[in-house]
A and B are shown apart, each in its own frame.
Chain A
Amino acid sequence: MAYDAVLAETVNIHGHGGDLIEAYTARPMAPGPRGGVIVIHHMPGYDRESKEVVRRFGVLGYNAICVNLYSREAPGAAPDDAAATARALGGVPDERFVGDARGAADWLRALPTSNGRVGTIGYCSGGRQAFLSSVEVDVQAAVDCYGAFVVGTPPEGFPLQVSPLTDRVPEVAAPVLGLFGNDDSYPSPAQVDELEKLLQENGKVYEFHRYDGAGHAFFSVDRPSYRPEAAKDGWGRVEAFFGEHL
């Protein structure tokens, strides 16, 4: 019988500016070395399902971590209250996210079981942040699950602190896997096409998959947007992609 055990726990790590921030981690108990995965939670926050995804990567054989990106605005708050607070304040500034993701990457690489390789995967607003991490953070793979505003300009008067990353595409330094629903409006299929064209033109290593009958958040098992077929295929793509690069 193969030994099958994962340690999952809350930890404090050093994020942007050296701040001590909360994170949730899952690590296989079997010997390494192995790659690390940074899970970037969706806009609704560091919630039960985000933690479930972290445990899934642990079970898949990775050291996984998800930083609570709302640690500073709402320490110890319920995930929905924390997300509401962060939204009212305009969301997470890119610079701070990058600092927190670098902290998570450092934490993963410092584990005795690390093989030195780290990937990111993000959902919703985290999809855009995963893409940003392929530019700003030392990662070997990045998975963008339906991140809006990688391309496309936010509407006039928009209070959230997001801007398109179009001009950063030449700096993408890791292979990118993109998973999108064709019924999504943010990002729209046209925006997905535009991003793919930019990656192509800049000679980047990428792989995009688009799903019919699926919109935004098709991986969210606890929401009406869940689409089992797209999610099942998507998980397979993620496993193959991380298997190759981590």
Chain B
Amino acid sequence: MCTYSTEKIEVTRSSGKGPGPMVDAAGSVSTGWFPLRTATVYYDHPVHAPDEHTVNIDFLAPDRGPGARLAVELSLDTAKELIAALQATVERAAYH
């Protein structure tokens, strides 16, 4: 199954860390952190995880090129646990 089914959200006031630190041609050192712009979420074939299908999330910053990407490929069980953890954390944030 290649679902093609993709959810996409805008990401605001959020950052991610990719490969780094790196030194560019001008000699400046990047910490690897960059602002995130979009996230796509889809259930499809993974590139690396050892299942036929995984829940995949790509956090992207198109203004910084295709390489500015934080990618995860999660087993269905892990994705469910992550949803619960996010839900609990977001609810708890209301009391901070």
Contacts and interface: CB of A to CB of B under 8 A. Distances in A.
Interface of A: 42-44, 73-74, 77-78, 80-82, 84-85, 87-88, 91, 124-125, 146, 148-149, 154-155, 158-160, 162, 184-186, 215-217, 220, 223-225
A87 B56 CA distance: 12
B27 interface: no
Interface string B33-52: 00000101010110100111
A88 B62 contact: yes
A88 B42 contact: no
B67 A87 contact: no
Given A84-B58, A88-B62, A225-B45, A43 B2 contact: yes
A159 B8 contact: yes
B1 A77 contact: no
Interface of B: 1-8, 38, 40, 42, 44-45, 47, 50-52, 58, 60, 62, 65-67, 69, 71
Contacts of B65: 74, 77
Contacts of A216: 1-2, 45
A84 B71 contact: yes
Contact of A81 (B3, B40, B66): B66
Contact of A85 (B8, B52, B62): B62
Contacts of B45: 44, 216-217, 220, 223, 225
- What 8 A-B pairs are tightest by C-beta distance, nearest first? A77-B66, A74-B66, A81-B66, A185-B1, A84-B58, A85-B66, A80-B47, A224-B52
Nearest to A73: B66
B52 A88 contact: no
A81 B69 contact: yes
State the main secondary structure of chain A at its contact with B.
Answer: loop
25 contacts: A43-B2, A74-B66, A77-B66, A78-B66, A78-B67, A80-B47, A80-B71, A84-B58, A84-B60, A84-B69, A85-B66, A87-B42, A88-B6, A88-B40, A88-B60, A148-B2, A154-B4, A155-B5, A158-B4, A160-B6, A186-B4, A215-B52, A216-B2, A223-B45, A224-B50
Nearest to B48: A80
Contacts of B38: 88
A125 B2 contact: yes
A74, A80, A162, most chain B CB atoms within 10 A: A80
